[in-house]
Amino acid sequence: MAEQSADNGVNNNATTGTYLIRGASILGAGTEDLLIRDGVIAARGTDLSTEGATVIDADGLIALPGMVDVHTHLREPGREDAETVETGTRAAALGGFTAVHAMANSTPVADTAGVVEQVHSLGRAAGWVDVRPVGAVTVGLAGEQLAELGAMADSRAQVRMFSDDGICVHDPVLMRRALEYVKAFDGVVAQHAQEPRLTAGAQMNEGDVSAVLGLTGWPAVAEESIIARDVLLAQHVGSRLHVCHVSTAGSVEIIRWAKARGINVTAEVTPHHLLLTDELVRSYDPVYKVNPPLRTDADVQALRAALADGTIDVVGTDHAPHPSEHKECEWAQAAMGMTGLETALSVVQHAMIETGLMTWAEFARATSVAPAGIGRLADQGRPLAEGEPANIILVDPAARWTVDPSAMATMGRNSPFRGMELPGKVVATFFKGHPTVLNGKLNTPYRHPTDAAAAPAGGY
Amino acid sequence: MKHLLSTEGLSLANAVRILDTAEEMAAVGDREVKKLPALRGRTVVNLFFEDSTRTRISFEAAAKRLSADVINFAAKGSSVSKGESLKDTAQTLSAMGADAVVIRHWASGAPHRLAATDWIDAAVINAGDGTHEHPTQALLDAFTMRRHWTQLAGLPSSGADLKGMRVAIAGDVLHSRVARSNVWLLRTLGAEVTLVAPPTLLPIGVEQWPCSVSYNMDETLEKGVDAVMMLRVQGERMNASYFPSTREYSRRWGFDDNRLRALDSLGLKDTIIMHPGPMNRGLEISAAAADSPRSTVLAQVRNGVSVRMAALYLLLSGDTREPAATLKESN
């Protein structure tokens, strides 16, 4: 594990912090030192000078670019009993993230410049990761009228990703217009692919298990038919489509076909869809209730293969914390969603790396480089090279730990991985050159210099 | 057996044990004093989140014949009402010292939640959960069939199974907890089950069930059948494109007068007609079929009390005691 040198003092002024990561395996390959100074990687090489630097012994650790989540529910504003930007981004930092995209289904909905700027400001004030608000596609997520996408794009939050996530933009004309309109500012529409009529009252994957349990089915075709329509729309209008939380083998086939045709589509898979199946629903424990639902083992295998071959571009957590009373109830009454920020790296290591499907370099592509590209984050997902922003994590791949939701930083206790032993532990997270996580524990948040300067004058 | 949640997974030994105990309970029902002291001082709560007068009074009669104290709790919680949670209700009942909870709930799996959590320590009996299971209904159906089947063979009912019996279950299988519980239990007891339904009212995944599936009622009858169980068609299905019209449903899938006559012409003189009730006369079953000597509808109701007595007795008086001995002591 990481050891600090004698200079163990907490440094709140990130821009002047100097850290020498000694002997990390860069992207799981050769071992080198990384010198972090003034928020950037000042040098990469062997036997770098330790002078004036806090030394972090990274023997046995892997250095990766900070993870970027394209799909996070931070719940604030509106459901601060479930999560806040502060608690959610603490969880993100501990999970190895340096940026998260905050989904728009807050209360009020993030469908105006005002709300996305509020979430953006809360993220900056928290200082644990970059918080990139996602703007709603339609006013109030109601699927009737486009939200002011341009105003959100031009706001201080600089929104580039738009989504009604939780609800599908099912009206084909509205979806077409949204795809067309976001071309004006290089935006992307992230679709929650769920045909609403085919999923009225749906509770779980429709198949052998739902037949026995008597729970209303959520058929794969309800996802696949929307994806098929949307890739054709994206092709027709020449725009950029992102498909949230792909969950079925059939969806993978459609996306593979679309990419082969040159359609500008990216796709995401959640860690839980890479590992868990609908067999777990036999317990009727709502901790396994999620949307889209857990599917079959055949789907899990297809999703893993698709992530490995790049058909699915990114891992997105769909971190969805809920207060306990929304899970301690009947299945049909329970809220959909699972926490994921603090388990994502371990689950992906377990499902993809330990199975030999992916290397750590490919892990960096799927968890950092590609998601930063989708969200148009210029200083995330960068190479670990001299002069690059120091958004870096150190991972101990040999660690083993047992998931204990009550010990997590997120307020949500709804982890479907509870009690599982998983590999891999985030030892350190550097965000803009500042260690938000050290020795596997939260350190201190990054302080934006402009905020600090402006604060006495009453905000920026 | 601590709980009775489903017939899926109920062993043959336990199933036969419940049916045999029910036979003994039925004998009590034939006596002048229809009451046993077996559960004196025990509290049974009927926790009903969904209206069901029939099932509730059946359980109430069963518990009272065993001298248990009965509390009826009609918690008419709907999916939208923001009333007390199941957890709080369960903890309240636990604090009141309930020994058994008979739960009817519109949500599939609600009884499993009660049994699996630490909200309450009582024995849980599933009295019908959503579209999942209704195990005591299947047990009373099996009890009714077993009496018929053994009588034909001239054998005693006790200890018997249903090996070789051909049972057709017809109607809205998709939404039927009765059908699910019957498929598992009848299969365990050795019967051969055929589901007869429009394809729209069969669940995706039914091909994995231990039964055969037919879309044709007449062909099923022609192949020979020893019991035909008609399922109720719920009113809310009628306008949801599951079938074009009630008349077409009735013609293709209902047990009408023509099919009643067909049983005679096919030489199926011992075939019984079953229905869990309440019936839609003229829709899934004609009045003549419901009232014919083949109909076991009222016997099913009567047997329901015996089967529920057996379930309460076996869950609450522990697995170690021999039911027959206790019954004799209490005479």
Per-residue pLDDT tens over the stretch A362-405: 999 999 999 999 999 999 999 999 999 999 999 999 999 999 99
Is B79's CB within 8 Å of A332's CB? yes
SS3 A390: coil
Quote the pLDDT of residue B82. 54
Closest to A286 measured CA to CA, from A414, A399, A114: A414
Is B108's CB within 8 Å of A213's CB? yes
Quote the pLDDT of residue A416. 98
Q: Is residue B236 over pLDDT 80?
A: no
User: How many residues does the structure list for chain A?
Assistant: 460
Domain residue extents for chain A: 18-63+387-398+410-452, 66-374
CB contacts of B204 in chain A (<8 Å) are 206-207, 210-211, 217, 219
Is A215's CB within 8 Å of B87's CB? no
For the domain spanning A18-63+387-398+410-452, the CATH number is: 2.30.40.10
- The predicted-structure confidence for A399-452, as pLDDT tens digits, reads as follows 999 999 999 999 999 999 999 999 999 999 999 999 999 999 999 999 988 765
Q: Which residues contact B118 (CB under 8 A, 6 or more apart)?
A: none
Q: Is A215 on the interface with B (CB under 8 A)?
A: yes
CA distances from A283 to A279, A403, B106, B233, B245 (A): 8, 19, 17, 29, 37
Nearest CB to A284; choose among B112, B177, B204: B112
**pLDDT grade, residue A16 (50/70/90)?**
low
Give contacts of A 310-329 with B, CB under 8 A.
325, 328-329
Closest to A317 measured CA to CA, from A374, A270, A367, A351: A270
CB contacts of A203 in chain B (<8 Å) are 108
CB contacts of B79 in chain A (<8 Å) are 332-333
Partnered with residue A33 across adjacent β-strands are: A45
Mean pLDDT in residue range A181-199: 98
Q: What number of CA atoms fall less than 13 Å from residue A80's CA on the CB side?
A: 6
What CATH class is the domain A66-374? alpha beta
Outline where DSSP puts E strands in A164-224.
188-191, 204-205, 217-218
Quote the pLDDT of residue A452. 55
CB contacts of B206 in chain A (<8 Å) are 211
Kindly identify which residue of chain B lies nearest to residue A206, measuring between CA atoms. B204
Alpha-carbon gap: A206 to the closest alpha carbon of chain B (Å): 7
Is A318 assigned a catalytic role?
Answer: yes
Kindly identify which residue of chain B lies nearest to residue A214, measuring between CA atoms. B132
- The predicted-structure confidence for A223-254, as pLDDT tens digits, reads as follows 999 999 999 999 999 999 999 999 999 999 99
Nearest CB to B87; choose among A215, A283, A328: A328
Confirm if A310 and A260 have CB atoms less than 8 A apart: no
CA A161-A167-A171 angle, to 5 degrees, is 90
What's at A404, amino acid-wise? D
Is A284's CB within 8 Å of B206's CB? no
Task: Determine the Cα–Cα distance for residues B199 and B209; give it in Å rounded to an integer.
Answer: 15
Global confidence as pTM: 0.93
Q: Which residues contact B242 (CB under 8 A, 6 or more apart)?
A: B172, B174, B198, B200, B201
Task: Determine the Cα–Cα distance for residues A103 and A335; give it in Å rounded to an integer.
Answer: 17
Is B112's CB within 8 Å of A209's CB? no
SS3 A16: helix
Quote the pLDDT of residue B29. 81
Is A283's CB within 8 Å of B116's CB? yes
Q: Is A336 on the interface with B (CB under 8 A)?
A: no
**CA B44 to chain centroid:** 19
Quote the pLDDT of residue B322. 42
Task: Determine the Cα–Cα distance for residues B212 and A149; give it in Å rounded to an integer.
Answer: 55
Give contacts of A 263-302 with B, CB under 8 A.
283-285
Kindly identify which residue of chain A lies nearest to residue B130, measuring between CA atoms. A214
Confirm if A347 and A272 have CB atoms less than 8 A apart: yes
What's at B104, amino acid-wise? R
Q: What ipTM goes with this model?
A: 0.92
Quote the pLDDT of residue B79. 42
Nearest CB to B204; choose among A206, A283, A328: A206
Provide φ and ψ at B215, rounded to 5°: -100, 5
CA B84-B101-B82 angle, to 5 degrees, is 15
CB contacts of B213 in chain A (<8 Å) are none
Q: Is A361 on the interface with B (CB under 8 A)?
A: no
Kindly identify which residue of chain A lies nearest to residue B131, measuring between CA atoms. A214
Q: Which residues contact A49 (CB under 8 A, 6 or more apart)?
A: A20
Quote the pLDDT of residue A9. 42
Quote the pLDDT of residue A297. 98
CA distances from B163 to A220, B185, B231 (A): 39, 12, 23
Best of B113, B133, B200, B202 to substitute, by most chain A Cβ atoms within 10 angstroms, is B113
B contact set with A (CB within 8 A): 8, 79, 85-87, 105-110, 112-113, 116-117, 129-133, 177, 180, 203-206, 208-209
Q: Is residue A109 over pLDDT 50?
A: yes
- The predicted-structure confidence for A90-107, as pLDDT tens digits, reads as follows 999 999 999 999 999 999
Q: Which DSSP string corresponds to B217-233?
A: HHHHHHT--SEEEEPPP
Is B107's CB within 8 Å of A330's CB? yes
What's at B204, amino acid-wise? I
Q: Hey, what are A396's tokens?
A: 């101990």
**pLDDT grade, residue B83 (50/70/90)?**
low
Instruction: Report percent pLDDT > 90 for chain A.
Output: 93
Residue entry with tokens 């169980």: B229
* Helix and strand numbers, DSSP H then E, in chain A: 12, 19
Q: Is A38 on the interface with B (CB under 8 A)?
A: no
SS3 B6: coil
Best of A212, A218, A282, A295 to substitute, by most chain B Cβ atoms within 10 angstroms, is A212
* List A33, A69, A278, A318, catalytic entry: A318
Quote the pLDDT of residue B234. 83
Task: Determine the Cα–Cα distance for residues A198 and B199; give it in Å rounded to an integer.
Answer: 17
CB contacts of A206 in chain B (<8 Å) are 204-205
Q: How do beta strands A434-438 and A441-442 pair?
A: antiparallel
CB pairs under 8 A between A and B: 79
Sign of CA dihedral A90, A92, A98, A99: negative
Is A332's CB within 8 Å of B87's CB? no
Nearest CB to B203; choose among A203, A211, A325: A211
Q: Which residues contact A108 (CB under 8 A, 6 or more apart)?
A: A77, A78, A115
Task: Determine the Cα–Cα distance for residues B198 and B219; give it in Å rounded to an integer.
Answer: 14
Give 3-state DSSP helix, strand, coil % of chain A, rounded to 5.
Answer: 35, 20, 45
What's at B45, amino acid-wise? V
- The predicted-structure confidence for B86-121, as pLDDT tens digits, reads as follows 999 999 999 999 999 999 999 999 999 999 999 999
Sign of CA dihedral A407, A409, A414, A418: negative
Nearest CB to A325; choose among B85, B132, B204: B85
A52 Ramachandran zone, left/alpha/beta (phi>0; psi -120 to 50)? left
Is A213's CB within 8 Å of B132's CB? yes
Strand order in the sheet with A161-162: A161-162, A188-191, A241-243, A265-269, A314-315
Task: Determine the Cα–Cα distance for residues B270 and B291; give it in Å rounded to an integer.
Answer: 16
Instruction: Report percent pLDDT > 70 for chain B.
Output: 93
Q: Is residue B264 over pLDDT 70?
A: yes
Best of B5, B85, B108 to substitute, by most chain A Cβ atoms within 10 angstroms, is B108
Kindly identify which residue of chain B lies nearest to residue A282, measuring between CA atoms. B109
Is A285's CB within 8 Å of B116's CB? yes
Is B107's CB within 8 Å of A332's CB? yes
The mean pLDDT of chain A is 94
Q: Which residues contact B293 (CB under 8 A, 6 or more apart)?
A: none
Closest to B276 measured CA to CA, from B306, B293, B259, B296: B296
Nearest CB to A213; choose among B79, B109, B117: B109
Is A219's CB within 8 Å of B110's CB? no
Q: Hey, what are A273's tokens?
A: 């869809």
Alpha-carbon gap: A333 to the closest alpha carbon of chain B (Å): 7
Nearest CB to B206; choose among A211, A285, A331: A211
CB contacts of A216 in chain B (<8 Å) are 131
Task: Determine the Cα–Cα distance for residues A145 and B252; give it in Å rounded to an integer.
Answer: 46
Q: Is residue A204 over pLDDT 80?
A: yes
Task: Determine the Cα–Cα distance for residues A202 and A196; give it in Å rounded to an integer.
Answer: 9
Provide φ and ψ at B24, rounded to 5°: -65, -40
Kindly identify which residue of chain B lies nearest to residue A333, measuring between CA atoms. B79
CA distances from B215 to A147, A211, A374, B62, B220 (A): 49, 18, 50, 38, 9
Quote the pLDDT of residue A396. 98
CB contacts of A329 in chain B (<8 Å) are 85-87, 113
Quote the pLDDT of residue B84. 76
Task: Look up residue A343 and give its DSSP letter.
Answer: T
Best of B112, B172, B200, B206 to substitute, by most chain A Cβ atoms within 10 angstroms, is B112
